[in-house]
Amino acid sequence: SELTQDPAVSVALGQTVTITCQGDTLRKYFASWIQQKPGQAPVVVIFGKTNRPSGIPDRFSASGSGNTASLTITGAQAEDEADYYCKSRDSSGNYLVFGGGTKLTVL
C-alpha cells in the first residue's frame, strides 16, 4: 500500500491517542480518516485537511506534516474503539488508496 499505518494502537480511557498514516502522496494530497466499528459500515470522521462531518464529536481532530497525516482523539471514549483507515490519492492523483488500517483499543 502507498499509505502505511501501525496495525494496532491502544489508549487508556479518557486519554489522548494519535494514529498516524505515512506515504509520499501525503506531501501533495490531504488524508481522510474513516472509522469502522465491528460489524458496521465505515464512517468518515475527518475529510480534507481537518474537516469533521456533522455528528462527529470534536474530540476527533487531524493534522499533517510532510509525508505523515495524523488523527488525534482527545479524551478517548469506549465507543471510539474501532478500526481507523486513512485514505488519500495515489502518486498519479487519479486513484484512491487506503492505508492498511489501525485497530484502536480503549483500555
Q: Interface residues with other proteins (CB under 8 A)?
A: 32, 34, 36, 41-44, 47-48, 53, 83, 85, 87, 89, 94-101
Nearer to other proteins, 13 or 37 (CB): 37
Least distance CB 22 / other proteins (angstroms)? 15
DSSP string, the chain: --SEE-SEEEE-TTS-EEEEEE-GGGGTS--EEEEE-TTS--EEEEBTTTBPPTTS-TTEEEEEETTEEEEEESS--GGG-EEEEEEEE-TTSSSEEE---EEEEE-
Q: Are 79 and 88 in contact (CB under 8 A)?
A: no
Nearer to other proteins, 53 or 75 (CB): 53
Nearer to other proteins, 64 or 101 (CB): 101
Least distance CB 78 / other proteins (angstroms)? 23
Nearer to other proteins, 23 or 99 (CB): 99
Least distance CB 38 / other proteins (angstroms)? 11
Least distance CB 70 / other proteins (angstroms)? 18
